[in-house]
Amino acid sequence: MADGFRLTRRWAALALLAPPLAVFLMFFVAPLVSLFWVSFHAPSQTELFGAELTVEHYATIFTDPFYHTIILRTLSTGGVILLLCLVLGYATAYVLAPLPQRQRLFLLLLLVVPLMVSNVVRAYGWIAILGRQGLINSLLRDTGLIDRPLLLLNSFEAVSFGLMTILLPYMVISVANALNAIDVQYREAAQSLRANPFKTFVHVTWPLSSPGVASGMLLVFLLTLSAYVTITLLGGPRMKLLVSLVFDAVGAFRWPLAAAISFVLLALALAISALILVVLRPQRVQGRG
């Protein structure tokens, strides 16, 4: 009886698991595997990919200085955005977390409002501010500080800053929730054990908030890697990142190259995610080392 019941339960669990698993395998794993397969083929003018097997795309990416520049630029853009989001986001969350529930939720909601505006619209907003005829240039010109407009758009700074403002709320919400979940008793315990506010932060608050910091950083970094609209509109033809190259390769019907760049992008995402988790060790809050 009991065994039969257990068996039934196992089948029921499998039955429940089957549909999402099938969808996952069919629409994620299978395309990914086929994309990987595509990336090792020569390009073709008529087909998706040529018949001939080759590693030339990967070879190009790893040897061509152009790709090195773009990879480095992608990493440094991601790094700057991560750093800005971490500092600004943590500081904001630190202020928000101790507020009374209603006030905190209201302010978090305010933070989310910009996310309701499309990235395209917001990128054009930045263009209106940073462009040649934009707000900043006309202000500077009117006050006589400059004679000819500064080139603010299509720059590393424009892309980093534009993306940072889009991604910051993810960091704030993630960290604010983590900080809010920390029992006050831990901080009081630290203080009762001679830890001043700074030491309390370093040894107690920071490590206990690390799960929120890690999830915030992962979100920010992965969204940076996959952002396209903001990069294209604010970066223009001069400030291209890896995603832009995928798009360009597809536009030139070089599908296998696009596939290879995608996998480099995926590898970067995995590597940096792993690095974030290794440095922050969010699992330590669970008390298992």
Could you give the 3-state DSSP secondary structure of residue 83?
A: helix
Interaction site with other proteins (CB under 8 A): 183, 185-186, 188-196, 199-200, 203-204, 207-208, 284-289
Q: Tell me, what DSSP letter sits at residue 41?
A: B
Contact (Cβ atoms closer than 8 angstroms) between residue 26 and residue 11:
no
Residue nearer to other proteins on the CB measure, 204 or 264: 204
CB atoms within 10 A of CB 66: 11
Could you give the 3-state DSSP secondary structure of residue 53?
A: strand
Cα–Cα distance between 170 and 154 in angstroms, integer?
Answer: 25
Cα–Cα distance between 254 and 42 in angstroms, integer?
Answer: 9
Residue nearer to other proteins on the CB measure, 219 or 285: 285
Q: How far is CA 126 from the centre of its chain?
A: 20
Residue nearer to other proteins on the CB measure, 143 or 185: 185
Q: How far is the CB of 82 from other proteins (least distance, A)?
A: 23
Select from 89, 69, 66, 65 the least CA-distant residue to 77: 69
Residue nearer to other proteins on the CB measure, 18 or 189: 189
Contact (Cβ atoms closer than 8 angstroms) between residue 105 and residue 177:
no
Q: How far is the CB of 193 from other proteins (least distance, A)?
A: 3
Residue nearer to other proteins on the CB measure, 34 or 196: 196
